[in-house]
Amino acid sequence: MPDSLSLRPKETVADLIRRHRRPLLPSPAIDAENFRASAVALCSAEVAHRSRDFQRVERALGLTFDRWLEPDCEQLGQFSHEAHAAAALVWLSHLQAHESQKRAPWSGVPFRYWLADERTGWLSKRSELWSGFLRQIDRYRATRGSCELT
């Protein structure tokens, strides 16, 4: 993109987008009573803000990205707290899919009738997925104030 006459000759498209991004979205604290729902609302708002702000910068700079060929283009110039919010949503989707096995097992056998090994395995996998979700929420909180770019 930049030519040799540019003031920033080594600037990439991602650098250009980063310079025009607005980092912070006002957000409330995560509610302790309904932690999962408020964390999902907050992370979803961050991801939506990233998308809208990227589209704003894309229009302002006259850039065009083919969403079919570059489906992850909105990650260009994203802030680290936005990346952690998106990762938290991915962990949560895996957690919810895993929890659905207990509520409506494909085998048709209720959880209370599962073998002890199956229940233990299910609980350890749930614990792993839940801790991954919490870890991303903690990383989101830690990086929210600094607004570092990824």
Cβ neighbours, 10 Å, residue 64: 8
User: Which residue bears the tokens 């085998």?
Assistant: 107
Average pLDDT rounded to a whole number, residues 26-43: 81
Collapsing DSSP to helix, strand or coil, 126 comes out as helix
Q: Which residues are CB-contacts of 80 (< 8 A; sequence separation ≥ 6)?
A: 143, 146, 147, 148, 149, 150
Collapsing DSSP to helix, strand or coil, 79 comes out as strand
Give the model's confidence band at 136: pLDDT under 50 very low, under 70 low, under 90 confident, else very high. Answer: very high
In whole angstroms, what is the distance from residue 128 CA to residue 122 CA? 10
Give the model's confidence band at 64: pLDDT under 50 very low, under 70 low, under 90 confident, else very high. Answer: confident
- CA 142 to chain CA centroid, Å, is 15
Q: What are the distances in angstroms from CA 50 to CA 25, 46, 78, 89, 112?
A: 9, 6, 7, 14, 43
Are 72 and 111 spatial neighbours (Cβ–Cβ below 8 Å)? no
In whole angstroms, what is the distance from residue 81 CA to residue 147 CA? 7
What does the pLDDT read at residue 146? 64
Are 34 and 93 spatial neighbours (Cβ–Cβ below 8 Å)? no
What does the pLDDT read at residue 73? 80
